[in-house]
Amino acid sequence: MASSWFVVAACVIFAGCGLERDWAAWQAVPMTEPSDDSSSGSSSDATQTGTSTSGIDSSSAGSTQTTDDASTSGVSGEASSAGETTTASTTSTGDVSVCGDGIVDAPDEECDDANLDETDRCTSTCKTIRLIFVTSVRLKGNINGLVNADANCKSLAAKQMMADPTSRITNPSNFKALLATSTQTAFDRHFPGAGPYQLVNGLRVSDSFAQLFSEPHQNPINVDERSMTQSTGVWTGTTADGQSFPGVNFCNDWTTLQGSATFGHTDFIDGWWLFFDVLGNPTIDCSDNFALYCLEQE
């Protein structure tokens, strides 16, 4: 009789346990109308706390799911086993650059000073204003290579910045000479700025680096680092589109007075600024005295 009572009691207990499990499962099912949400693959029992769970499977009972980003739309994650913790790392693709917020959002922005005043060399569209000038000093073709040509640009820029506190030149070490060699084009050795190029007196030359070589300039590059006007030939070794001029040795890559090279002229806003199409160009030797163009980089 005692054993029969034990069997009955055990059945009641186990039956009760079954009812408790059924009750818990019934409670877990949300009593709501079917959702019209267009996001496919989202789990109906996912917990939404200010985050989007479209495309993410909910974890099994007892697991915890966290995300590194508030936006998880379209990111698939595997459901974790009971008691485990899964972390879904996501990358938001909805961020857009906001010019004027003081934050430089590359690659769309080159600068962002949170104002519309271009005197600080940042345009209202968040592009950097770069300077370009012709040197006040004339040099023969034996410039001692590109390194020394760049050093001439930097030295003249530094000298002028020290002589004139109001100079628009603020970083002399950021200039390079516009020259081609037998192994490197003038176009490729310079930073391709997306913003405008201006003379040191503030006049605009072009709206971007690419336009220096593709469209007529808005003003000729005839102003030197001191803001003085120069009408002169300029060593370039370069075609109108910034490529190395064929058939010359660039004064043996700007190291000797032997050989030949090409020059442009500061008076022109078309391709002649790089290649002055006159008799004697390319030069028959490298003993002429010409200036250099100096461009600001990053």
Instruction: Output Rg (C-alpha) for the chain, integer angstroms.
Output: 35
141-172 pLDDT per residue, tens: 999 999 999 999 999 999 999 999 999 999 99
Give the position of tokens 């300077």: 131
Of 125 and 76, the structure prediction assigns the larger pLDDT to 125
- Report pLDDT for 24: 42
Residues 206, 192: Cα–Cα separation, whole Å = 12
Residues 111, 282: Cα–Cα separation, whole Å = 40
pLDDT above 50 for 208: yes
Residues 57, 280: Cα–Cα separation, whole Å = 76
Give the pairing of strands 204-206 and 197-198.
antiparallel
- Report pLDDT for 65: 42
Q: Which of 171, 194, 294, 146 is nearest to 234 (CA)?
A: 294
pLDDT above 80 for 140: yes
- Kindly state the average pLDDT of the residues 239-253: 95
| SS3 sequence of the chain | CHHHHHHHHHHHHHHHHHHHHHHHHHHHCCCCCCCCCCCCCCCCCCCCCCCCCCCCCCCCCCCEEEECCCCCCCCCCCCCCCCCEEEECCCCCCCCCCCCCCCCCCCCCCCCCCCCCHHHCECCCCCECEEEEECCCCECCCCCHHHHHHHHHHHHHHHHHHHCCCCCCCCHHHEEECCCCCCCCCCCCCCCCCCCEECCCCCEEECCHHHHCCCCCCCCCCEECCCCECCCEEECCECCCCCECCCCCHHHHHCCCCCCCCEEECCCCCHHHCCCCCCCCCCCCCCCCEECEEEECC
The predicted model scores a pTM of 0.65
CB 122 within 8 A of CB 113: yes
Of 279 and 24, the structure prediction assigns the larger pLDDT to 279
What's the burial of 16, exposed, middle or buried (CB within 10 Å: 0-12/13-18/19+)?
exposed
In one-letter notation, the amino acid at residue 245 is F
